[in-house]
């Protein structure tokens, strides 16, 4: 009896700064669970990172650190394709071809291009403009059925679908048109210094963001300093955005509902609650942090995994690229 093909999921992470708690709770911690049900391809998207100027020495270190983190989070290189995007030249090749099937007007409407152009007015480069085409190539190259996306990437995935459908209409069925993968909703994790804005890797306030590699003392200090209101009751309500954010974090790591949290801390103050949130977060991140230390110290193992991941990525993408080359009229040797 023919084995049913598992649906493929593709997802990537940029190697710029250490992922923060919001990244982890919202997406990354689910990646290792997905590999039990799906055929997963996970990539460190280093090519995407250079739309903003990077320190080459720092970037090389961050690529290795990001790769080690994926393994430390439980992603198994024997079950999933875990690779560095730049190690497979097919991404850049397919991106160029797809850019010739993407309209200028489509790219000019991308809100992320507008946002990043405002943030980096001194470096509005062509790569920043064509970034969504490379993202489309990442996804379509592996014939991904599903793509986990946050709200800031939904527009890019829609463009990917448009490109795939346009190419398929011109040349016949070539690409699987990917669907968004919607994970179980986790309340958006906000800044600990300003609960009105999202937690961000680029926040200049070091107390605003908890990274997945912060040690216990650092985590506890950041939560103790978290901005709340002038009240003392641990409950949701108008004007209690800070305490509600902490409740979201506590609920995400303990799997408790808001009602259960309110009951647990009834009669207790913010100090007790902040300490409990800090302890819960530190405990949940400890196994990953310890595994990361082990992996990053084993250079031979890390490099072997990267090499094998690159070979698997190339093998998984080669058929798609050859098919595309043939359909557009290129000669494949």
Q: Are 62 and 16 in contact (CB under 8 A)?
A: yes
CATH fold group of domain 8-186+299-328: Rossmann fold (3.40.50)
End-to-end CA distance of the chain: 36
Task: Let me know: does 188 contact 22? Beta carbons within 8 Å.
Answer: yes
CB 59 within 8 A of CB 20: no
CATH superfamily of 216-292: Tyrosyl-Transfer RNA Synthetase (1.10.240.10)
- CATH 3.40.50.620 location in the chain: 8-186+299-328
pLDDT of residue 1: 40
Side-chain half-sphere CA neighbours of 228 within 13 A: 23
Which of 57, 63, 53 minimizes the C-alpha distance to 17? 63
pLDDT in tens, 124-183: 888 889 999 999 999 999 999 999 987 667 888 999 999 999 999 999 999 999 999 977
Predicted pLDDT at 165: 98
Please name which of 246, 242, 309, 266 lies closest in space to residue 42, comparing C-alpha atoms.
309
The pLDDT value given to residue 321: 97
What pTM, to 2 d.p., does this model score? 0.91
Distances (CA, A) of 6 to 37, 124, 169: 7, 40, 26
SS (H, E, C) the chain: CCCCCCCEEEEEECCCCCCEHHHHHHHHHHHHHHCCCCEEEEEECHHHHCCCCCCHHHHHHHHHHHHHHHHHCCCCCCCCEEEEHHHCCHHHHHHHHHHCCCCHHHHHCCHHHHHHHHHCCCCCCHHHHHHHHHHHHHHHHCCCCEEECCCCCHHHHHHHHHHHHHHHHHHCCCCCCCEEECCCCCCCCECCCCCCCECCCCCCCCCCCCECCCCHHHHHHHHHCCCCCCCCCCCCCCCCHHHHHHHHHHHHHHCCCHHHHHHHCCCCCHHHHHHHHHHHHHHHHHHHHHHHHHHHHCHHHHHHHHHHHHHHHHHHHHHHHHHHHHHHCCCCC
Per-residue pLDDT, 80: 97
Q: Using 50 as the pLDDT threshold, list the residues of the chain that sit under it.
A: 1-2
CATH 1.10.240.10 location in the chain: 216-292
Give the count of alpha carbons within 13 A of 130, CB side only: 18
Catalytic residue positions, numbered: 116, 198, 201
């Amino acid at each position: 009896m023919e084995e049913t093909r598992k649906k493929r999921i593709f997802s990537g992470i940029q190697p710029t700064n250490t992922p923060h708690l919001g990244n982890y709770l919202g997406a990354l911690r689910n990646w290792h669970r997905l590999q039990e049900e799906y055929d997963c391809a996970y990539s460190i998207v280093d090519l995407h990172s250079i739309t903003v100027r990077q320190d080459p020495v720092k970037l090389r270190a961050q690529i290795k650190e990001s790769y080690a983190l994926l393994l430390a989070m439980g992603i198994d290189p024997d079950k999933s394709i875990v690779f560095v995007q730049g190690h497979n030249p097919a991404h850049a090749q397919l991106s160029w071809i797809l850019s010739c099937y993407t309209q200028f007007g489509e790219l000019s409407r991308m809100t992320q291009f507008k946002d990043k152009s405002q943030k980096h007015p001194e470096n509005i480069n062509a790569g920043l403009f064509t970034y969504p085409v490379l993202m489309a190539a990442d996804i379509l190259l592996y014939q991904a059925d599903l793509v986990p996306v946050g709200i800031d990437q939904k527009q890019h995935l829609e463009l990917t679908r448009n490109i795939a459908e346009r190419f398929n209409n011109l040349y016949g069925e070539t690409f699987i048109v990917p669907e968004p993968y919607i994970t179980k909703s986790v309340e958006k994790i906000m800044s600990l210094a300003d609960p009105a804005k999202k937690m961000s890797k680029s926040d200049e306030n070091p107390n605003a963001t908890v990274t997945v590699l912060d040690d216990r003392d650092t985590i506890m200090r950041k939560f103790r300093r978290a901005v709340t209101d002038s009240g003392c009751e641990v409950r949701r309500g108008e004007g209690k955005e800070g305490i509600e954010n902490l409740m979201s974090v506590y609920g995400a790591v303990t799997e408790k509902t808001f009602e259960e949290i309110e009951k647990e801390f009834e009669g207790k103050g913010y100090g007790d609650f902040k300490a409990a949130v800090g302890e819960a977060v530190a405990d949940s991140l400890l196994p990953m942090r310890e595994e990361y230390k082990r992996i990053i110290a084993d250079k031979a193992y890390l490099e072997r995994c990267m090499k094998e991941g690159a070979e698997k990525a190339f093998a998984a993408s080669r058929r798609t690229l050859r098919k595309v080359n043939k359909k557009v009229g290129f000669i494949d040797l």
